[in-house]
Amino acid sequence: MDLGHAIIGAFGLVLSGDPDLTEIIGLSLSVTLSAVIAACVIGLPLGAAVGAFRFPGRTVCAVILNAFMGLPPVVVGLVVYLMLSASGPLGVLGLLYTPTAMVIAQTILVTPIVAALTRQVVEDLNAEYAEQFASLGVSPLARAGALLWDGRYSLLTVALAGFGRAIAEVGAVIIVGGNINHVTRVMTTTIALETSKGNLELALALGVVLLTIALIVNAMVMAVRALAARAAYA
Amino acid sequence: MSAPGPAPRRATAPGGSVIPLAAPLMEASGLTYSVRGRRLVDDARLVIREGRRTVILGPNGAGKSLVLRLMHGLITPTAGRVDWRGAPLDKAARRAQAMVFQRPVLLRRSVRANLAFALAVRGVARAARRPAIATALERARLTHLQSQPARVLSGGEQQRLALARALMTGPELLFLDEPTASLDPASTLAIETLIEEASAAGVTVVLVTHDRGQAERLADDVVFLQSGRVAEHGPASRLLSAPASEPLRAWLSGRLYVEAEKSSRIDI
Ligand SMILES: Nc1ncnc2c1ncn2[C@@H]1O[C@H](COP(=O)(O)OP(=O)(O)O)[C@@H](O)[C@H]1O
Ligand SMILES: [Mg+2]
């Protein structure tokens, strides 16, 4: 099959709503969304705590969070694999090669991103608000909550950045998911497999979808920024 | 000007004590704030009479903002004490104070939500917030802007909102740090009217200003700060008409007064 046919075939697959394609896209989105939600549940309070409170080891925490932003996905995949494999400490849960395993791996990858960027947002806001909050007598917990709320536009772009990173990620999910047809095949792993098999049509179709999603995410980031600027919330 | 070291200080009010016998609402004595050996506030004594309006004057960098923050408990003095009703300033006393900062710090929320925040912090129930906010909006003439994001308001509107929010908590004492510094006359008048209303309702006011006219309009008492020290402190009627200290005389007559650099101000 030549490239021209492959491209035409790819658009055919996308436009016809091919069921295999739809399934793969659906799993990609649900795994990534779950991971981003989990990462926000952990990362937002964590980042807020490091950004807003003074405690011993605070700087070390910030440095670690920043360093973990660049965790190599294959290493994360390997560690999660070892934890979940039959002989691993969490082997009894039988999670290896399930979408849940992929969610766990992606959560580990995205949480430091969310936490580190949240810390920066919250710390900057805190520098601006600290004296006013002290004057009003705001309690520490209420302060963290107020800082998160006032950083909501920036934090939305943080979550979108996490989503963008997770949906394009391949190394970790292929190790812990195993790329099993109809079970754990997501866009990136399918592209890797189908390309190696020479099935460029499906690989290209998924590539187009992935690119489109990346474009949409970026457009959303820009829209959020524009909204924030209009309300002088930047 | 007070001499450094243990030498006895000059009376704070030259020409005889002007402080009434009734215990003052606030009193700061020996108030000192040093950063890296620089005495930014130097052995200052301030007496704030309850229900009165004290205006703090002084050139740029005199330490006016630092004095406000020290008295409000936002920073801790290096030496000296701040008393509230005869006892050291504590958390409860701080809650009886409010402050409007030189640059208004407004939340990234609507005008309404900024006012509601102050009430929420003080644990006012949701149902009770509504009428309080409506009253505050009306008084600050911000009702028509209540749904706007606070940070798109004009400078004067932002300052009115900051002042309204400070008054939300029902303070006994209100600190204002140059609240009209960059405002036009109409906005200045609106702010001064709000201050006068609060004052008439019994709120003690401590106001920093650069504006001689504002001092004449608002001050009961005047504190003149120069290089972190209290150059003069007393009733406005006397200080503004017959200043005793050279820096205040110079300031009032519009002369440029530049103090010679004093090596004695550097701590070792
Ligand atoms: N945290 C700080 N560290 C070092 N110097 C400071 C600090 N805060 C204020 N200063 C200095 O103290 C002096 C008085 O400041 P400030 O009280 O803001 O003056 P103003 O009378 O203009 O309000 C200035 O010279 C300022 O640079
Ligand atoms: Mg100042």
Q: What is the mean pLDDT of residues A3-23?
A: 86
A48-57, A224-233, B12-21, B195-204: range with lowest mean pLDDT: B12-21
Out of B91, B120, B152, name the one closest to residue A232 (CB). Answer: B152
Q: Per-residue pLDDT for B4 more than 50?
A: no
Q: How many CB atoms lie within 10 A of CB A115?
A: 30
pLDDT at B255: 75
Q: What is the mean pLDDT of residues B24-42?
A: 96
**Chain A residues inside the 8 Å CB shell of B91:** 137
Q: How many CB atoms lie within 10 A of CB B167?
A: 23
pLDDT at B260: 62
pLDDT at A225: 94
Domain count, chain A: 1
Q: What is the DSSP string of B195-206?
A: HHHHHHTT-EEE
Ligand 1 pocket: which of B65, B70, B76, B251 to mutate (most atoms within 8 A of CB):
B65
Q: What is the mean pLDDT of residues B50-69?
A: 95
pLDDT at B210: 86
Domain layout of chain B by residue ranges: 18-96+171-178+204-268
Distance CA A23, CA A20 (A): 5
What does the buried/exposed string (b/e) look like for A48-72 if buried means 16 or more CB atoms within 10 Å of the residue's CB?
bbbbbeeeeeeeebbeebbebbebe
pLDDT at A77: 97
pLDDT at B263: 46
Q: What is the DSSP letter of A181?
A: T
Distance CA B72, CA B69 (A): 5
- B136 CA to chain A: closest CA distance, Å? 17
> Residue A159 in contact with residue B116, Cβ under 8 Å?
no
- pLDDT band of residue B6 (cuts 50, 70, 90) is very low
> Residue A233 in contact with residue B149, Cβ under 8 Å?
yes
Q: What is the mean pLDDT of residues B43-51?
A: 96
List B223's β-bridge partners, or say none: B56, B233
- Mean pLDDT, chain B, as a whole number? 89
Please say whether the structural domain B18-96+171-178+204-268 has been given the CATH code 2.60.40.1930: no
Higher pLDDT, A23 or B19: A23
Q: What is the pLDDT of residues A139-189, one digit of tens each?
A: 999 999 999 999 999 999 999 999 999 999 999 999 999 999 999 999 999
Identify the domain containing residue A18 by its residue range: 3-233
Q: Which two tokens stand for residue A124?
A: 């900057």
Q: What is the mean pLDDT of residues B234-244?
A: 90
> Residue B30 in contact with residue B45, Cβ under 8 Å?
yes
Contact A136 B108 (CB under 8 A): no
Distance CA B116, CA B164 (A): 11
pLDDT at B83: 97
Q: What is the pLDDT of residues B61-97, one digit of tens each?
A: 999 999 999 999 999 999 999 999 999 999 999 999 9
Cα→Cα distances A114→A134, B175, B182, B252, Å: 27, 39, 39, 56
Q: What is the pLDDT of residues A105-135, one digit of tens each?
A: 999 999 999 999 999 999 999 999 999 999 9
Alpha carbon B132 to its chain centroid, in Å, reads 25
Cα→Cα distances A113→A155, B79, B120, B263, Å: 11, 44, 32, 51
Read off the amino acid at residue A83.
M
Q: What is the mean pLDDT of residues B104-120?
A: 97
Q: Per-residue pLDDT for B200 more than 90?
A: yes
Q: Which two tokens stand for residue A117?
A: 């960027």
pLDDT at A1: 54
The structure's pTM equals 0.89
Distance CA B247, CA A193 (A): 82
Q: What is the pLDDT of residues A39-63, one digit of tens each?
A: 999 999 999 999 999 999 999 999 9
- B125 CA to chain A: closest CA distance, Å? 16
- Mean pLDDT, chain A, as a whole number? 94
CATH number of residue A143's parent domain: 1.10.3720.10
Q: What is the mean pLDDT of residues B127-143?
A: 96
**Chain B residues inside the 8 Å CB shell of A152:** 108
- List the single best residue of B72, B108, B158 to mutate versus A (max A Cβ within 10 A): B108
Give the residue whose CA is nearest to atom 19 of ligand 1.
B61
Q: What is the mean pLDDT of residues B24-46?
A: 96
Q: How many CB atoms lie within 10 A of CB A110?
A: 29
> Residue B56 in contact with residue B223, Cβ under 8 Å?
yes
Q: Per-residue pLDDT for B268 more than 50?
A: no
- pLDDT band of residue B2 (cuts 50, 70, 90) is very low
Distance CA A5, CA A216 (A): 27
- Nearest ligand atom owner, CA of A131: 1
Q: Per-residue pLDDT for B177 more than 80?
A: yes
Contact A135 B107 (CB under 8 A): no
